[in-house]
A and B are shown apart, each in its own frame.
Chain A
Amino acid sequence: MYKYSEQDHQLLLERVSQFRGQVDRRLKGELSEEEFKHQRLRNGLYLQLHAYMLRVAIPYGLLSSEQMRTLAHIARKYDKGYGHFSTRQNIQYNWPKLEDVPDILDDLAKVEMHAIQTSGNCIRNTTSDPLAGVARDEIEDPRPYCELIRQWSTFHPEFNFLPRKFKIAVSGATHDRAAVAVHDIGLRLVKSETSEETGFEVYVGGGLGRTPMLGKIIRKYLPKQDMLTYLEAILRVYNMLGRRDNIYKARIKILVHETGEERFRELVETEWEKIKAGGLFLRDEDFNWVKGFFNDPVYESLPDSDADFENLMLSNAEFARWVDKNIELHKQSGYRIVYLSLKTAHQPPGDVTADQMDAIADLADKYSLGHIRTTHRQNLVLSDVPLKDLPALWEELKALDLATPNYNHVTDIISCPGLDYCALATARSIPISQAITARFDDYDFINDLGDVSINISGCINACGHHHVANIGILGVNKKGTEVYQLTLGGSAREDAAIGKIIGPAFEADEIVDAVGKVLAVYLESREEPEETFLMTYRRLGQAPFKERLYG
């Protein structure tokens, strides 16, 4: 992973010192809340329903074991002993005290982490494929490009006060595990049709929230040397023309929609022409330098079979289930990718305790070359586990309650914090996710359902990505009562789609039954077990689901 230079370290220390001074002045009353609010948000610090909330950036979801131990230390020392991994691959602490935040940032800086640009109208943390660098379907490792974007966008003076927040995702594989179509800019690495080169398919104007939209492809192939100049051109057009008069119409998706795809493309291309040969043009030495931080580790030459592993697969059904659901093939023979499920019946989706974090760091060192990845589905990944070590790793994960065999299945629910934590939320989402998990927490049922996603948001801002779930749930407040609207047919993958509302909302004590009915229609209607929920829905449309739900 990228290692900070001396200059990077210095920059971070100065920033923490600056914020320490701002906090000090706020506590003494020398800064008003209105003045201070902008400073704290620049450092990822929100004031939420119960307390301050600090969002820490995890660049493209990549963590070292040392960083994970620091996250555990922060959870233990300054918070209530846990943290929450978000859909943007970051971690959030729900209970820090204002006076402790400079010390937290100091601790983070020691391990090359920070909370800069995790809030506010700026370019946020760039997200990516949690399997970057190890996936079998990878065209090219996206991490070096993410790092270049991180460096370009951090403290970019021109883009520090955009009309609204701005999110970029990069994917380098055939399968989209980074939800690129629902980001302000999505970049997909693709092969050139005319050479051996790779470049980017560029999506602009995707997003969720109250106006969900899929990104439009404004360039089918962008040479990678032009990545930063082209991003700069898009951001310039947005910064100049994006609406600042109405917060609900300020995202780039609205600009693209109102300007028209073709006109927006012309504006970007015109701006690009002016700057494409400038200092942001990426040279071979730039790529070589940054790729040096993401070289493959030295993999052992291991057989792609192991007698103990095979024996356990045959003799232990629980182990076999875990392997079936939470393990993926690795590009390197003899290795596997392991998903650590943060979706148990006992903890809110994405939540991890300090002890679990420390243990995960130890497991990463012991089994997976010391690295951990976070996923946008709020799980963790150990990316480089030798096949022969899977039985031992499984035993240890089980003891930590991190081995639920449900990755990409019905109880692998994305959930925003909802009204239990969030000042913007209008309904609770975590209790609903827990109720759904409790209802359907049966392996045979989960296995029979196969690949299906449920996402829950506690308000129209859609932090729980409900629009792009196969089954989306949106909690709203209707005349003082929490009610839940169902959307069906969404997808965040390469076949991205925005789900459609199926009908009137359900009350909290009805929504789990409603989900059950939707799943029952699928199981009764699919033509074969291989037909996924989404395939059945697309074949049949809403009618049979609507009929079952509303009669």
Chain B
Amino acid sequence: MALQVYTASLLKEGLVAYLALENGRPSWTSDIHQATVSEMATLDDLKQAAEQSEQDNIIVAPYAIDVLKTENGIVATTKREQIRAEGPTIELPQDTTRESRQAA
């Protein structure tokens, strides 16, 4: 069975977050590499902690995703989740970008 981590959106910010369990206590991090992988805790424990965080109004719509452990850390298996983890694959428009381009 593939390794999994739990992900969701933070209620206040809407930003992508991953569940990290430390001594059974849940916290949510934007860094997928800090997520607790299903080999370190049971998927049921992760699910329970995620649902509790949802009830506590910390996160919205948690779900499990498949991941791989690589030499570069935890990597989601789908393109969608890779983009969620890393952000848009394009350069975001920035006023400074234009200025530096013109300077170049």
Residues of A within 8 A of B (CB): 26-29, 33, 47-52, 80-82, 95-99, 346-348, 351-356, 399-401, 419-421, 426, 428, 430-431, 434, 477, 480, 482
Contact = CB atoms under 8 A, between A and B. Distances in A.
A346 B90 CA distance: 10
Given A434-B90, A477-B79, A50 B13 contact: no
B16 to A, nearest CB: 6
B79 A482 contact: yes
A201 to B, nearest CB: 39
Contact of B83 (A80, A353, A420, A480): A420
B94 A82 contact: yes
B65 interface: no
B93 A419 contact: no
Given A348-B93, A480-B78, 5 more contacts: A47-B14, A47-B61, A51-B13, A80-B92, A420-B83
A98 B92 contact: no
B93 A81 contact: yes
A403 to B, nearest CB: 13
A411 B61 CA distance: 38
B4 interface: no
Interface string B39-70: 00000000000000010110011000000000
B97 A346 contact: yes
A346 B57 CA distance: 39
B55 to A, nearest CB: 8
A81 B84 contact: no
30 contacts: A26-B11, A27-B12, A27-B57, A47-B9, A47-B60, A47-B61, A49-B84, A50-B16, A50-B87, A51-B9, A51-B15, A81-B95, A95-B14, A97-B13, A98-B12, A98-B13, A346-B97, A346-B101, A348-B93, A352-B93, A353-B93, A353-B94, A353-B95, A400-B98, A401-B98, A426-B80, A428-B83, A430-B88, A480-B79, A482-B79
Contacts of B15: 50-51
Nearest to B93: A82
A222 B57 CA distance: 52
A97 B101 contact: no
B72 interface: no
B23 interface: no
Contacts of A348: 90, 93
Contact of A33 (B61, B89, B94): B61
Contacts of A80: 92
Interface residues of B, number: 30
Contacts of B94: 81-82, 353
A43 B84 CA distance: 25
8 closest A-B pairs by beta carbon, nearest first, are: A52-B14, A420-B88, A51-B14, A355-B95, A82-B93, A29-B57, A351-B93, A347-B93
Nearest to A480: B78
Nearest to A434: B90
A239 B88 CA distance: 39
Contact of B90 (A29, A48, A420): A420
Interface of B: 9, 11-16, 54, 56-57, 60-61, 77-80, 83-84, 87-90, 92-95, 97-98, 101-102
A110 B88 CA distance: 32
Contacts of B57: 26-29
B83 A346 contact: no
B14 A420 contact: no
A57 B8 CA distance: 28
B77 to A, nearest CB: 8
A134 B60 CA distance: 47
A99 B88 contact: no
Contacts of A81: 93-95
Contacts of B101: 346
A353 B60 contact: no
A482 B6 CA distance: 24
A482 B82 CA distance: 13
B58 to A, nearest CB: 10
Contacts of A51: 9, 13-16
B93 A98 contact: no
Contacts of A351: 93
A531 to B, nearest CB: 35
A98 B14 contact: yes
B92 A421 contact: no
Contacts of B89: 420, 428, 431
A400 B13 CA distance: 31
Chain B CB count within 10 A is highest, among A50, A52, A80, A99, for: A50
B95 to A, nearest CB: 4
A421 B14 CA distance: 13
A154 B88 CA distance: 35
Contacts of A28: 57
Nearest to A52: B14
Contacts of A99: 12
Nearest to B77: A480
Chain A CB count within 10 A is highest, among B11, B14, B87, for: B14
Nearest to B81: A49
Nearest to B83: A419
Nearest to B97: A346
A428 B84 CA distance: 13
A50 B30 CA distance: 11
A354 B95 contact: yes
B15 to A, nearest CB: 6
A52 B60 CA distance: 11
Contacts of B97: 346
B18 to A, nearest CB: 13
A97 B12 CA distance: 6
A49 B87 CA distance: 9
Given A27-B11, A98-B14, A353-B95, A50 B79 contact: no
Contacts of A82: 92-94
